[in-house]
Amino acid sequence: MREDTRSRIQEIALRLFTEQGYEATSLREIAEELGVTKAALYYHFKTKDDIVASLVNARLAELDELLAWFKGRPKTPQTRRELVERYAELLRGTRHIGVARFLERNQTALRDHPTLIKIRERMMDLSAEMSEPGATPVERISHSMALFALHAGKWLLKEGELSDDEIHKATLEVARRLLEP
pTM for this entry? 0.80
Q: What is the pLDDT of residue 94?
A: 58
Task: List the alpha helices (DSSP H) in the chain.
Answer: 2-20, 27-34, 38-44, 48-71, 77-91, 94-105, 107-110, 114-129, 137-156, 164-179
Nearest CA among 25, 21, 181 for reference residue 102: 21
Which amino acid makes up residue 60? L
* Cβ-based neighbour number of residue 94 at 10 Å: 8
11-23: pLDDT as tens digits? 999 999 999 999 9
Q: What is the pLDDT of residue 109?
A: 83
